[in-house]
Chains A and B, each alone.
With several copies, the nearest count.
Chain A
Amino acid sequence: MAGYTPATRDDQVAMLAAIGIDSIDELFAQIPEAIKLGRPLDLEDGLSESEVYKRLASLAEWNQDAEEIPSFLGAGMYDHYVPAIVDAITSRSEFLTPYTPYQPEVSQGGLQVMFEFQTAMSELTGLPVSNAGLYEGPSAAASAAYLAMSATGRTGLVASRGVHPHSRETLATHAVGFGAELTEVPLVDGLTEAKALEAAIDDTTAAVFLQNPNFLGSVEDIERLGEFATSKGALLIVAVDPMTLGILKPPGECGADIAFGEGQPLGNRLDFGGPSFGFFCAKQEHIRRMPGRIAGETTDVDGRRGFVLTLQTREQHIRREKATSNICTAQALNALGALVHLSWLGKQGFVELGELLVRRTAYARKTISGLDGFELLHDAPVVREFAVRSDRPVEEVIHMTPDPSQPGPHIPVYPLGRDYPEYEDSFLVAITENRSVEDIDELAHVLQHGQAGWGEFIHDHDENGNAVGENGLVGATQGGRS
């Protein structure tokens, strides 16, 4: 059992004496005997730190992570390079261990971070109002719907099938509580079908959800599609991949009322899906309907500049059942990671990274769709992810081991079948700055030659430390590091 509790026997005796009781049990007398557990918890006894470390390290060995084998998985979360400075800052006790800044006089660090984060998100999305972050992308979609319903007094929600399946599912789950109906609009040639969208919107429509780039990686013409919404008095709500906003026209300039998204690509690890954060930006008119924390600038009694949580009357701890959202604990530390990453990329670097993604992705798309047995699912413009059709069943294509009876490993690309039965012959390939041209060529090679191919492709480790041999896709089929 770990030594996190300082109370020695002597301490306990002294405290009990002060309280005037003989044993801690007396304090639990208020729990009726009938419902007392009356036995030890049926869990292992505590382990020493080194044992816990070993146990979890050996569990982790069973995961095929992007450090070991280059991952082309995306679908909203991406293996970007998180600069070391992010960990250096987010691991400081001063950021890691406090709670929500209820006492602003001793929370200026956290509050200023929120303020700077809000500024960055507002710059990225081109919308004037940003909160300090929500849980993650999909639940931010639900928050957006809640805002739209109270802003419009309507109950209809329309979502393109280009919106992330998790966001649509999450919307559907929450719609039951909100009393909303969700309608979906199909895709054609990788893009939201304009006619169908127009037809789906009427004067009961509270909000229209689009995503850019959409789930198939395509860049949508948000401005054009958005008019269908705004012309009918519905709010235009756009989900965006923040990493593409150095390149793509920001939602704020496309008429969006609300822009939200999954923040993971900004300074957050993959972490098998969380914790990351969701961002949420809106037009000025929605400021008092915003969900979540918002930091504002002010001054102290001596006139010093300072920051506080502001517009709190929106929030559950004040407004209770009338709150604009029920969120309390959010994702402050993850938002800090994003802020540091964005500061590190900077004004120029953020654009350059976007350009890098567009160009490498174009190369990957050309290379892979050029393989025989593969073709593009659509040829809409893309930024950093694209969809590929395969003649052979996807399950078979991505299965990497020579021996098909073995359960894995799989080529880390995203099969579309589960979310889109209509595309069950296709998969997504995502690119980040961590995926070198060599990685892409190797992916092409393995897709092409599958099980047969891997043998030919063994390298000595190469000076560029790129993913070949040793810890490459191919290496992984023979057991990773040696």
Chain B
Amino acid sequence: MSDAATLTETPQQADRAVTIYEKSVPGRRAAQLPPSGVEETPIDELIPSHLLRGEPAELPEVSEPEIIRHYNRISRRNFDLDTGFYPLGSCTMKYNPRLNERVAALPGHARLHPATDPADAQGALELMYLLQESLSEICGLPTVSLQPSAGSQGELAGLLLSRAYHKDKGRNPGKVLTPDTAHGTNPASVSMAGYEVVKVATNETGGVDMDDLRSKIDDDVACLMLTNPNTLGVFDENIAEMASLVHEAGGLLYYDGANLNAIMGQARPGDMGFDIVHVNLHKSFSQPHGGGGPGAGPIAVSDRVEPYIPRPQVVMAEREGWDQFFDLDYDRPKSIGRMRGFQGNFGVFVRSYAYILSLGGDGLSEASRLAVLNANYLKHRLSEGRAGKYLPVAFDRHCMHEFVLSGAPMKKELGVKTLDLAKRLLDFGFHPPTVYFPLLVDEALMIEPVETEAKEHLDAFADAIEKILEEAESDPEIAINAPYTTPVRRLDEVGATRRPVIRQPK
């Protein structure tokens, strides 16, 4: 900035976005490749020219120093978990141990080809086997398939298991029940599995409305898909009853385990009577979120469903000359088949298994207990003062690992929407909670303060909200025009959708 007298914008704001393509200079390069070491035969003598590319792809032409400067620079335009409190509801933003990155990077893991003969990949297969065993114990279900790439693929796999299960029983039910609080991936997965979504209402305590459920259970119900604790952070105490109702009607029970962080070592989906659970290793099991992946969504299933799980499955097999041999079992005639290539996101398995080893059974249980303590403490802090007045909790009861507030009074009395509050939080150095979800809560704020956050951060967050509301009482415009200090301010999303510019113009 050249005008020194006053700051008109922050240094980062003044530093406008420039893409790597705009830094490209013809003839610049980073990579040097090894010589081929063989005859430099013209390519079109090896591949017919009509199959060859004419113009090279317009990739950047930049030197290596420019590359690292470019990406380091834009990396600082992200808010990340290692910068501050990130209470994004339903996302379990817990600390990502660097130990896990270290072990995942060992050449024996990172440079192991997925098609390596099992005899030459015993370490990797044993690790997968041990992770299956661990997740099986945590979920209370006998069999685990690690294959699904993330939660949503786990859901789809689970629903296809339900199809296979019913088909095998000679049935062909068409409906899947999901509470109206369900995460968006649930109904989307239901459709992709060729099922019809039937919504079930929520009762006044945040659980499933049992009457509505009963009225909708019939023999066309393939499956009930439930998140527990649900997206309101509420544990549904009728869960066992629901399970038996659905089972009686011949349906299966699918447990969306994205919120497992609330109950590890406390209660297990299997013990609640569920048949299929998916687990988000990038939530409860510390896989870094990477700006939107990678993750993994293993599924744990009951014996009823076991015959249909995806192929291949890691098993402990008999092999002469070995006291234990771990193998990939393809010979599963009733399997739904593959959900994806090779054996799943192994690198994620390494990290999550390292996490499980680090915490142990006691540690996982403690993690859940402290996650729930943090959530209830923050809920309490936000029930006081102005937050209590303008941001009432959606369901006033002890919550599990997260809770949902409603910004409706704030909107009504101060003209400040939940979105405005979220944006203003950015100026205070906090990542906002999940907003406008779950849908049934007006102006929802979904807050998940994980166990790896210290009390002082929860207090600071509560203080910031109090301060923002205080500001808003005197001048709502402050929040309505926020943020002010972020690398860019509010962005025109509507315009972006109307005339999409989704790549560097040629």
Contacts and interface: CB of A to CB of B under 8 A. Distances in A.
Interface stretch (A132-140, A199-207, A228-236): A132-140
A29 to B, nearest CB: 7
B4 interface: no
Interface in B1-49: 9, 13, 16-17, 19-21, 24-34, 36-41, 43, 46-48
Interface stretch (B156-164, B298-306, B409-417): B156-164
A130 interface: yes
Given A109-B75, A321-B188, A248 B124 contact: no
A273 B350 CA distance: 12
Contact of B60 (A130, A172, A336, A346): A346
**Chain B CB within 10 Å — which of A26, A60, A301 has the most?**
A60
A310 B502 contact: yes
B115 A350 contact: no
B96 A96 contact: yes
Contacts of A316: 152, 184-185, 187-188
A347 B61 contact: yes
A333 B101 CA distance: 13
Interface stretch (B212-220, B386-394, B450-458): B450-458
27 contacts: A6-B65, A8-B27, A15-B374, A41-B137, A41-B265, A57-B103, A64-B112, A83-B99, A89-B67, A97-B82, A118-B502, A118-B503, A138-B338, A176-B164, A247-B47, A249-B52, A270-B114, A275-B347, A317-B183, A321-B191, A326-B155, A326-B189, A332-B293, A343-B70, A345-B59, A347-B24, A437-B38
A329 B26 contact: no
**Chain A CB within 10 Å — which of B39, B126, B183, B189 has the most?**
B189
Contact of A119 (B17, B79, B80, B503): B503
A4 B341 contact: no
A318 B185 CA distance: 10
A298 B77 contact: no
Contacts of B354: 52, 56
B120 interface: yes
Given A15-B455, A43-B137, A109-B74, A56 B497 contact: no
A176 B359 contact: no
Interface string A57-72: 1011111111110010
A264 to B, nearest CB: 9
Interface in A4-21: 4-12, 14-16, 18-20
A84 interface: yes
Given A96-B96, A164-B341, A323-B188, A301 B489 contact: yes
A47 interface: yes
Contacts of A450: none
Contacts of B152: 316, 326-329
**Chain B CB within 10 Å — which of A14, A169, A287, A336 has the most?**
A169
A305 B16 contact: yes
A433 B37 CA distance: 10
B200 interface: no
Contacts of A56: 103, 106, 127, 350, 353-354, 357
Nearest to B439: A320
A338 to B, nearest CB: 11
B293 A301 contact: no
A249 B111 CA distance: 30
Interface in B74-106: 74-83, 86, 88, 91, 93-99, 101-106
Contacts of B77: 106-109, 112
A173 B336 contact: yes
A305 B17 contact: yes
A110 interface: yes
Given A173-B336, A310-B496, A65 B363 contact: no
A167 B60 contact: no
A24 B373 contact: yes
Contacts of A87: 98, 102, 105
A164 to B, nearest CB: 7
A35 B266 CA distance: 9
A3 B108 contact: no
Nearest to B45: A362
A41 B364 contact: yes
A318 B184 contact: yes
Contact of B340 (A29, A30, A170, A310): A170
B123 A346 contact: no
A417 to B, nearest CB: 12
B151 A328 contact: yes
Given A50-B34, A307-B17, 16 more contacts: A4-B63, A7-B374, A30-B397, A41-B264, A42-B137, A77-B342, A84-B102, A102-B88, A120-B59, A123-B57, A248-B52, A297-B496, A330-B292, A331-B293, A359-B39, A360-B38
A195 interface: no
Interface in A97-136: 97-110, 112-113, 115-116, 118-120, 122-124, 128-130, 132-133, 135-136
B352 to A, nearest CB: 12
Given A95-B78, A103-B426, A331-B294, A146 B192 contact: yes
Interface stretch (B245-253, B267-275, B470-478): B267-275
Contacts of B38: 359-360, 362-363, 437
Given A44-B360, A89-B72, A27 B53 contact: no
A101 to B, nearest CB: 7
Contacts of A347: 24, 29, 56-61
A296 B496 contact: yes
Contact of B71 (A8, A219, A340): A340
A456 interface: no
A32 B273 CA distance: 13
A83 B486 CA distance: 32
A98 B453 CA distance: 15
Contacts of B346: 271-275
B80 A93 contact: yes
Given A31-B235, A274-B348, A135 B340 contact: yes
Contact of B360 (A47, A66, A135, A295): A47
A408 interface: yes
Contact of B358 (A1, A36, A124, A460): A1
A179 interface: yes
Nearest to B94: A4
Contacts of A253: 54
B229 to A, nearest CB: 9
A76 interface: yes
Contact of A63 (B104, B116, B266, B369): B116
A98 B110 contact: no
B292 A332 contact: yes
Q: Please give me the 4 A-B residue pairs with the lowest Cβ-Cβ distance, nearest first.
A: A60-B108, A273-B114, A273-B342, A333-B290
Nearest to A2: B358
B302 to A, nearest CB: 15
A306 interface: yes
Interface string A235-252: 000000000011111100
Contact of B117 (A37, A62, A262, A408): A408
Contact of A113 (B65, B138, B164, B291): B291
A8 B495 contact: no
A410 to B, nearest CB: 4
**Chain B CB within 10 Å — which of A42, A320, A332 has the most?**
A320
A18 B380 contact: yes
A93 B357 contact: no
A85 B67 contact: yes
B139 to A, nearest CB: 11
B66 A6 contact: yes
A47 B357 contact: yes
A333 B361 contact: no
Nearest to A306: B488
A95 B122 CA distance: 32
A317 B437 contact: yes
A303 to B, nearest CB: 10
Given A138-B341, A271-B112, A321-B190, A299 B120 contact: no
B362 A103 contact: no
A40 B362 contact: yes
